[in-house]
C-alpha cells in the first residue's frame, strides 16, 4: 500500500499547476481527476503536456479517475450504454498516454438511483467485459468505485461480489472509504474483501454525509481501517481525495502528517 494524492484535492486549479509541489514533498503517487476544467482528456495537447511533466518529475505510480460525464456504465438502455463504452475507451486511451496503470470509473451516472437494480447489474457486468479487453490491450487495469447511499452501487460488498464473479484479471474495485463509512459498512466489511480491491479512495467525514475531509479530521477509524487493509495484503494506491475549501498547501501539509503517522509508503523524504 502506498500513498497517492488525487488532483481532486487542488481543484479548480489546473492539473499541472500543483503537480511539482506534490513531487517536492517526496510523494510518489498521483491520481489524475479527469474533468475538462482541470485536465481535458479530449485535448491531445493537454494530455501530452501532462504525460511529459509526469515522466520528467519521476512519479512512480499514476492512476486516473474518469470524469462522471463519460455516461452510465450500468444503464439498461443499450444505446446509452454503448455511448458510455466509447467515452470510457477514450478515457483509457488518455490514461495510457500519460502513463497511468489504472482507471477508476463510477458504476452509474451521478444521478443513478437504486431503481432497476437487477437490470443494472447485468448491464454493468457487460460493460466491464467490454472494458476489460480494451484495457488489457493497453496494459491498463479498470476499477469500479462504490457510490454513497442511496445511489446504485452503494453496497461495497455487493459491488465486490459482482466484480469478482466476472473473473476478469484486470477488473477490480476501488473502495471509497468515505462512501462506505457513511453507509455504515466500515470497518467491519473489510474482512470480506480480497485481491479484487485494486485501489482505495480515502477521505474523512463525521458519519452523516460524504464531506471529503482530510483523513484524521473526522471520525473515520483510520488505524483500524489501515490495519485491515494490511491484513488483506493490499498493495495498491491509497489515494487521498480531499476537497474541504482550504488552500491546497494546507491540505497537503495535513496529508503528509497523516501518512507519516500511519506509516504509509511512497512518501519519500517528508517535508513538514
Mean pLDDT, the chain cut into blocks of 10 residues (272 residues total)? 95 93 94 93 94 95 94 95 97 97 94 79 97 98 94 94 97 98 93 96 95 96 96 95 92 94 69 36
Q: Is residue 19 part of a domain?
A: yes
CATH number reported for the structural domain that contains residue 29 in this entry: 3.20.20.150
The verdict on residue 142 lying in a domain is yes
Q: Count structural domains, the chain.
A: 1
Q: pTM for this one?
A: 0.95
Output the pLDDT for position 244. Answer: 87
Which domain does 15 fall in, by range?
Answer: 2-262
Residue 35 lies in a domain: yes
Max CA pair span of the chain: 51
Structural domain includes residue 270: no
Count Cβ neighbours within 10 Å for each residue of 130-161 and write b for 16 or more, e otherwise.
bbbebbeeeebbbbbbbbbeebbbbbbeebbe
- Where does the chain have alpha helices with state H? 19-24, 44-57, 78-98, 117-137, 156-164, 177-182, 222-231, 248-262
Supply the pLDDT for residue 160: 98
Q: Is the Cα torsion angle 172, 178, 182, 184 positive or negative in sign?
A: positive
Residue 269 lies in a domain: no
Q: Kindly state whether residue 272 falls inside one of the protein's structural domains.
A: no
- Residue 1 corresponds to which cell in the numbers above? 500500500
Instruction: Let me know if residue 225 belongs to a domain.
Output: yes
Query: Would you state the pLDDT for residue 248?
Result: 94
Q: Quick check: is 268 in a domain? A: no
Amino acid at each position: 500500500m502506498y500513498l497517492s494524492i488525487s488532483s481532486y484535492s487542488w481543484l479548480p486549479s489546473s492539473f499541472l499547476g500543483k503537480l511539482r509541489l506534490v513531487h517536492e514533498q517526496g510523494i510518489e503517487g498521483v491520481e489524475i481527476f479527469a474533468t475538462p476544467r482541470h485536465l481535458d482528456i479530449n485535448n491531445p495537447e493537454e494530455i501530452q503536456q501532462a504525460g511529459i511533466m509526469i515522466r520528467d518529475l519521476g512519479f512512480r505510480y499514476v492512476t486516473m479517475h474518469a470524469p462522471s460525464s463519460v455516461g452510465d456504465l450500468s444503464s439498461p438502455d443499450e444505446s446509452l450504454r454503448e455511448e458510455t463504452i466509447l467515452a470510457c475507451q477514450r478515457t483509457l486511451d488518455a490514461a495510457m498516454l500519460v502513463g497511468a496503470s489504472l482507471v477508476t470509473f463510477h458504476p452509474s451516472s451521478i444521478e443513478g438511483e437504486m431503481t432497476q437494480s437487477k437490470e443494472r447489474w447485468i448491464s454493468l457486468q457487460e460493460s466491464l467485459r467490454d472494458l476489460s479487453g480494451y484495457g488489457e490491450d493497453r496494459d491498463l487495469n479498470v476499477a469500479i468505485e462504490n457510490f454513497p447511499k442511496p445511489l446504485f452501487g452503494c453496497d461495497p460488498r455487493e459491488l465486490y461480489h459482482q466484480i469478482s464473479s466476472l473473473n476478469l484479471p484486470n477488473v477490480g474495485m476501488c473502495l471509497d472509504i468515505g462512501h462506505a463509512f457513511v453507509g455504515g459498512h466500515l470497518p467491519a466489511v473489510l474482512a470480506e474483501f480480497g485481491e479484487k480491491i485494486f485501489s482505495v479512495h480515502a477521505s474523512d467525514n463525521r458519519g452523516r454525509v460524504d464531506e471529503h475531509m482530510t483523513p484524521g479530521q473526522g471520525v473515520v477509524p483510520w488505524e483500524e481501517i489501515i490495519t485491515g487493509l494490511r491484513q488483506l495484503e493490499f498493495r495498491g494506491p491509497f489515494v487521498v481525495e480531499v476537497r474541504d475549501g482550504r488552500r491546497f498547501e494546507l491540505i497537503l501539509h495535513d496529508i503528509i502528517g497523516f501518512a507519516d503517522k500511519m506509516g504509509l509508503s511512497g512518501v519519500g523524504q517528508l517535508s513538514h
